[in-house]
Homo-oligomer: A and B are copies of this chain.
């Protein structure tokens, strides 16, 4: 029988996705749950609600709280934290690259590297040069080839499909976890509950 699985929907602009990305494999391995790394974009989902940007920007108090909370949570999880100058960042290219390296087994290490650069070191992850460097750092032997592939129609469509699936699942934020193609859990705080749900049989 296949091990239980979980779909991990993450957006590279999302702060709490950083925390989840850094811990999901260890928590999943502990429970023998397989993780489907599923990058998507919140932009189109927010736009469909008539929003122009993140609630962390439009709601000033919520945004200020989020950065303080993220700092506290990162410290507790012993993760590096540095607030980037720009928020939210454009994660489009990073998401396409993540999909382009999935076949090579690099989607998880690349995604973690992007998050660490963004929220651990405060770097600009919209930049192709930075992303190429991160690709090489996680063992990609042809970063330029991957960058080219990330811009092809097939990969673009795959990301669009992920966004469409997220919308059909009722996903409204990131990170989100989906068990059995149906049961939705939202937020880094629900990672354990989602994994336990998968273990219990979805």
Contact = CB atoms under 8 A, between A and B. Distances in A.
A11 to B, nearest CB: 15
Nearest to A73: B193
A34 interface: no
Contacts of A190: 69
Contact of A170 (B65, B76, B173, B189): B65
A59 to B, nearest CB: 6
A186 interface: yes
Nearest to A188: B189
A189 B187 CA distance: 11
15 contacts: A49-B59, A55-B55, A61-B170, A61-B171, A61-B172, A62-B173, A65-B170, A65-B172, A65-B186, A68-B184, A69-B185, A69-B186, A69-B190, A76-B193, A189-B189
